[in-house]
């Protein structure tokens, strides 16, 4: 019996040693696998950081391009507005000149026309005719301006 107990204890010790050796081997394998996974994670992290940087650069370029396009469009619109403004000023100046020349013409007619009932009647008829022409000229000028736009 002592012999069997000894053999049993010896075999038990061998199994413990073998189990400990297997655990150590498994621990080494797990550590190696863990290190490989950590390296892979680090590589992926670096790659992700590079991709984010590239994406930020592309977005920045797109934003700047969009801003530039917006500025160009705004400048074109400003130039168009200025052009229309200048045309309006010229048209208004022409109309003012016409009105002033008609005033001078009317004043000259009154002064040179003399005094009589016929002269006053002709003057009124002439003024009405001039007013009608001025209105027609205004309408025509406005229509020409709108068509030119």
Enter the pTM of the model: 0.47
d(CA 83, CA 65): 27
* Number of domains the chain contains: 1
Range of the domain at 128: 2-148
d(CA 27, CA 133): 108
pLDDT of residue 116: 47
pLDDT of residue 75: 95
Tokens 């130039």 belong to residue: 79
* Cβ atoms of residues 99 and 127 within 8 Å: no
Low-confidence ranges of the chain (pLDDT < 50): 115-121
d(CA 139, CA 149): 15
3-state SS, one letter per residue, for 51-68: HHHHHHHHHHHHHHHHHH
How many Å separate Cα 134 from the centre of its chain? 46
- Distance from first CA to last CA of the chain, Å, rounded? 122
d(CA 94, CA 92): 5
* Cβ atoms of residues 106 and 127 within 8 Å: yes
d(CA 125, CA 106): 11
H helices of the chain, in order, are: 2-113, 117-148
């Amino acid at each position: 019996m002592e012999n069997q107990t000894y053999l049993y204890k010896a075999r038990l010790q061998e199994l413990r040693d073998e189990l400990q050796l297997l655990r150590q081997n498994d621990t080494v394998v797990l550590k190696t696998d863990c290190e490989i996974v950590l390296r892979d994670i680090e590589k992926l992290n670096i790659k992700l950081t590079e991709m984010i940087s590239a994406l930020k650069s592309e977005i920045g370029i797109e934003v700047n391009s969009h801003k530039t396009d917006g500025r160009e469009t705004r400048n074109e619109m400003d130039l168009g507005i200025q052009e229309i403004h200048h045309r309006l000023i010229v048209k208004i100046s022409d109309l003012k000149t016409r009105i002033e020349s008609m005033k001078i013409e009317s004043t000259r007619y009154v002064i040179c026309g003399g005094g009589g009932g016929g002269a006053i009647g002709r003057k009124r008829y002439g003024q009405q005719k001039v007013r009608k022409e001025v209105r027609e000229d205004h309408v025509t000028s406005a229509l020409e301006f709108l068509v030119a736009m």
